[in-house]
Amino acid sequence: MNRNASDVCEVYYVNEKHVAKARKVLSSDREILALAETFRNLGDPTRVKILQALTVEELCVCDLAKLLGVSESATSHQLRVLRSRRLVRFRKEGKMAFYSLDDEHIVTLMKEALRHVREGIA
Amino acid sequence: MNRNASDVCEVYYVNEKHVAKARKVLSSDREILALAETFRNLGDPTRVKILQALTVEELCVCDLAKLLGVSESATSHQLRVLRSRRLVRFRKEGKMAFYSLDDEHIVTLMKEALRHVREGIA
DNA sequence: ATCACACATGAACATGCGTTCAGGTGTAGG
DNA sequence: CCTACACCTGAACGCATGTTCATGTGTGAT
């Protein structure tokens, strides 16, 4: 049978001090969820490309669609995901919508993640 | 019908210069995929908690399971995901496996993401 | 006003992902 | 050797997520 955390574990070998210590540094559930959702929004190749592209300059949906090689509809959906976590913002100019990165944290996140990835020899 | 990037778009209003400029900054497909996978691995509340907890000190699977309130099996699976992108590493000591963060980039990523999240009033 | 277009949205479908269950591996102790 | 245990892994289930199709919205031009 599968053991769960309530039988053997806590009595015989869990180090409660370590657990308590670790628990203190955890963010609130709300922040944890927000963090996870933010990372998940970043966790798609198409959206990574969008964000990398937007580090240069703002782009309209059509340019992005062309760059990514997907339909405008798909691009628009992805942009909505990114908007939901305030990773990008946009302004309307006539019929066009120009998207840009919402804040500098995003740039930092991307750069730091890229460093991590590149360290992996790969 | 749905328009795709190959009919109207490129001829009439896509700004090819912008597209070309943006394309230059894009990482290789391999790096893009690695980035997306890394972010996706971070995009789960349980794994976020694990990483936050490990910023304090290394912990064994059992401690983590207790902290998270889930089974050891589930914890082990999540740890495997984190290992797959080298977000954590582990060392064996007798029967126990102690996990810790793989590099400092992870700490930076978490902190920066937390700043972003907290700026969102929320 | 009407049309074309640039983009957004809703719904449906298929894939992927996290969780759980069951069993497996390797180590420590008797 | 055998047992107990700390952890790992494979498979299956169910939900969430990404993509596509079709339609809707709003702007600019004629």
CA A11 to chain centre: 38
Residue A7 has a pLDDT of 38
Nearest to A4 among B45, B71, B120 (CB): B71
CATH class of the region B43-119 = mainly alpha
**Considering all CA atoms of chain A, what is the largest pairwise distance in Å, rounded to the nearest integer?**
68
Q: What average pLDDT does chain A have?
A: 87
Which pLDDT does position A15 carry in this prediction?
76
Report the pLDDT value the prediction gives residue A119, as an integer from 0 to 100. Answer: 87
Is the model's pLDDT at A4 over the cut of 60? no
Q: Does B108 touch chain A (CB under 8 A)?
A: yes
| Model confidence at B61: pLDDT above 90 | yes
| Residue numbers in B near A21 (CB within 8 A) | 56-57
Residues 22-81 of chain A with CB under 8 A from chain B are: 22-23, 25-27, 29-45, 47-49, 52-57, 59-60, 62-63, 65-67, 69-73
B59-60 and A96-101 beta bridge pairing = unpaired
Q: Residue B42: closest CA among chain A residues belongs to which residue?
A: A39
What element of type H or E holds A5? none
Q: Decide: A51 and A88 in contact? Cβ < 8 Å.
A: yes
Q: Which of A15-19, A81-85, A94-98 has the lowest mean pLDDT?
A: A15-19
Cβ of B95 near strand C (under 7 Å)? The reply is yes
Q: Could you count the other beta carbons within 10 Å of the beta carbon of residue B78?
A: 21
- Collapsed DSSP state (helix, strand, coil) of residue A90: strand
| Helix, strand, or coil (residue A46) | helix
Q: Which residues lie across from B96 on neighbouring strands?
A: B93
- Whether the pLDDT of residue B46 is over 80: the answer is yes
pLDDT over 70 at A96, yes or no: yes
Residue B35 has pLDDT above 70, yes or no: yes
Domain boundaries, chain A: 8-119
Q: Quick one: pLDDT at residue A5?
A: 36
More confident: B122 or A15: A15
Write the DSSP assignment of chain B as a string of letters: ----TTTHHHHHT--HHHHHHHHHHPPPHHHHHHHHHHHHHH-SHHHHHHHHHHTT--EEHHHHHHHHTS-HHHHHHHHHHHHHTTSEEEEEETTEEEEEES-HHHHHHHHHHHHHHHHS--
Q: Give B17's pLDDT tier (boundaries 50, 70, 90).
A: confident
- pLDDT value at position A1? 35
Residues of A with CB below 8 A from B114's CB?
27, 31, 35
Residues A40, B44: C-beta atoms closer than 8 Å: yes
Listed by number, the residues of chain B in 6-25 with a beta carbon closer than 8 Å to a beta carbon of chain A are 9-10, 13-15, 18-19, 21-23, 25
Chain B residues with CB-CB distance to A44 below 8 A: 36, 40
H or E segment to which residue A105 belongs: helix A104-119
* End-to-end Cα spacing for chain B: 40
pLDDT value, residue B121: 58
Say what percent of chain A tops pLDDT 70. Answer: 87
Contact B32 A18 (CB under 8 A): no
- Residue B2 clears pLDDT 60, i.e. is over it: no
Q: Which residue has the tokens 């939901």?
A: A84
For residue range A19-58, list pLDDT tens digits in order: 899 999 999 999 999 999 999 999 999 999 999 999 999 9
Instruction: Note the residue count of chain B.
Output: 122
Q: How far apart are CA B120 and CA A112, in angstroms?
A: 21
pLDDT: is A121 or A68 the higher one?
A68
Q: B2 exposed, middle or buried (CB, 10 Å; 0-12, 13-18, 19+)?
A: exposed
Q: CA B95, B76, B53, A113 torsion: positive or negative?
A: positive
Task: Say whether domain A8-119 belongs to CATH 1.10.10.10.
Answer: yes
What confidence tier does B100 reach under pLDDT thresholds 50, 70, 90? Answer: very high
